[in-house]
Every structure is written in C-alpha cells, then in structure tokens.
Structure 1
C-alpha cells in the first residue's frame, strides 16, 4: 500500500495539520533559532515569534500557539510596566527573567512542534535518506522516543509523591527543598537511565543497525509548502547576515 503524498502524521486519533517534511522541520528550527539572536528590537522579535506561531497553527498545534501568544503578550506588558523600576534589584531580576524567557520561547515552541508532530519512524526514514551516519540515526531515534516516556514517568512520580504527602509544588520546595528535590529527581534520573537502555535495545531489535537498505511506508519528499517556508526563512537569514556584516541591526 502506497500512502504517498497524502500521508497525515497522526498520534492516536489526532491529526497534526500540514505534514511538513521532517527535514524541513529541522532546517526551520535551526534557521529560526539563528534568526532569533540576530535582531534586537521588539518589533523584529515579535515578527519572528508570530512566524513561529503561524508554523504551529498550520502544523496542528493551535492550542500551544494560542498559549504562547498569550504568554508573549503578557511578558511584553510586564516588561513595560516594570521598566521604570529597574533600579530595584528584585525588579531588575524579574525583568531579566521575563526578557530571557520571551526571547527563547520561539525556540521551545518549534522544538515542541517538531517532537509532537514527527513520527519516529518517519524521522528515521528521513535521516536514512539524508545518508546520516548509523550512530546518529540510532541516537536520534532513542532521543525522540525518550522524551514522551520520561514525561509519563515524571507524571507517575508526581502522583506517587502526592499520595505520600511530598507533592512537587512551590510550598514544599520552599518549606522542604531537600526532601522534595531528592524524592522527585532521584527516581526520575534512575528511570531515565533505564528508559534509555531499554529504548536503545529496542531500536537494535528493530534492525536500525542493519547495514542494508531500510524501507518505510511513508514517502519522504519536499512539497510546495516546505519549499515556501524554507525559502522565506533562508532569504530572511541571508538578509540578516548581510545586514549584520555591514553593521546594521534591526
């Protein structure tokens, strides 16, 4: 059965909008992360952020996009409200946190979009098609499967600690910081080590180390929207590089 160009990435019963090519996602993530730190003005930063939000909306992550847009607006408002009081060290620290989180938010948005909308087997097929080294393919596939599993472990640990009265919350962090941190992080680290070993073994059992040709039911190819988004980001990156070399900054 040839699923061809009509493939829609799915997880359970949820479709993820426009099926961008996995290579497009990685290139967009890389180029937009570079663009984030090549401009200084709020207008420039807002433009990059809205472009990232547009990608999430088209990619099926509308809830995440709306939440991030709301958070971005709140950060901008907070920054302007506390700007006259920066002589206060605590206000200055809050301002620093707000600015840093606001600047790196687009990178986290795109990273979440890539992980949430990219099927592991599809991403591995794209890496094989790009002739990545075998070690890189196995490592990346394990990492992609590791994040969702660790999130499940984190939720299970929080539930267990809540039943024991050591809930991971601000109150316990302040009143019992050592006990709360130990009871949450130690099980998480142990679970992460076990999960990584098990996923690596599972990847080898599925034949990822097979030196022969690998097959995939999903067709890996660039479509018109991949070319459009890659073209826009590549042109923007080239323009910003030229402007920065000539001493101009937006």
Structure 2
C-alpha cells in the first residue's frame, strides 16, 4: 500500500467500482458517505439518503453549505439536478419496496456467513438503529466497507459476529483495506466467504493471517490466486 494512500481512501476507491450507470444507491453513515464525491461520476446515478433526499451531490464547498440540506449522518450535502425531497415514510417505502439497487454500508463486524453488525456497541450510547436493518433486506445488493482490523488489531471478519446483528446472511460483498470478498448464496440460503481480490501489495497469506474467519480463495481448485485490485 502506498504511504500516500490511507486505508479509507483505498477502500473508497475500490467501492466506487461497484456503482454502475443508472443505479439508485444508498450510502450508509460513516465511511460510505465519502463516495458522494465520486459516485455521481457515473451517468444517471442517484444517491439516496433515508432521511428524504434522492439525488445527493458532492460535499459542499464553504460557499455552497446549506445547513438545512443534510444526509442521514447529519452532514451538509449538495443536490444534483433533478433531485427530489420526500418524507421519511416515503423514503423507507422506496427501500422496502426494492427500489434501491445498491446499499453501501459501513461495518463493525462481518461473519463468514454474511451476517452484519454495524449499528451499536453494547454499553455505548446510540441515538437509534438507523436505516441499515431495512436496507440490508430491501436493497437489491449490499456491499459492506470497513477496515480489516479493529483499533485493537483484531480481525473484524469473524466466524460469527460478537456484536448485535443488523441482519443475518445479508452481505453480498465485503471490501476492506486488505481484500475483497464475495459471499455467494447457496441453494439452502447459506453463504460462503470467498476471497476474490487482494488490495495492491497484499498477499493471500497476509489476508489469512489477519482474518479470523475461514475463507476460500476464488478459483476452481480453491488455490488460485485472486485478482489484485486495480
């Protein structure tokens, strides 16, 4: 990893590749909101915020700041041409009705079975569970972005989540500063953790050393080297 690129910048650059032309995309609170500056580069993309805005633009400059225009994380934002405002009930009707193509959410923990924990740490004050529980079930695809290790140096990719769950078996792809994992769903509904890419300068062995959960490496024989992310 280049010394000039932070782990978050690496993750966001890779996550931006998940956004395709014409998508309606919900960006979760925290790291995913950084995609607002790059997500609208795709043609026809509309970024949705569950507090009632479809068509989020890049972060405002000092001259553009409107204190009344905020995202779900209470950050000031801009709006693109053709944007729409609506109440929270209509916003969640969009989400629950399957009208969001992609949800990009932050994570505290992801399990080998695709479970996600991202809304609270026991004993710490939280204002509410937010919209993630709806998004992981209503969006057509869920991508989770997070740093691979906690501040204490522990793996956040676990055999089973230890924190309160946001959803069970809901993660389609996980992007960290070390690797990209897919979690395909089997016929019985279970998911498998599959390493499909390593970040530049990262080896499969380094990913194994830093990942508590067991995973399979992409390839028919299970031993093929995954693609190095560009």
Task: Name the TM tier (shorter chain).
Answer: under 0.3
Instruction: Report the structure, 1 or 2, having the larger helix content.
Output: 1
Name the larger-Rg structure.
1
Higher RCO (C-alpha 8 Å, min separation 6)? 1
Instruction: Report the structure, 1 or 2, having the larger strand content.
Output: 2
TM-score, normalization: structure 2? 0.25
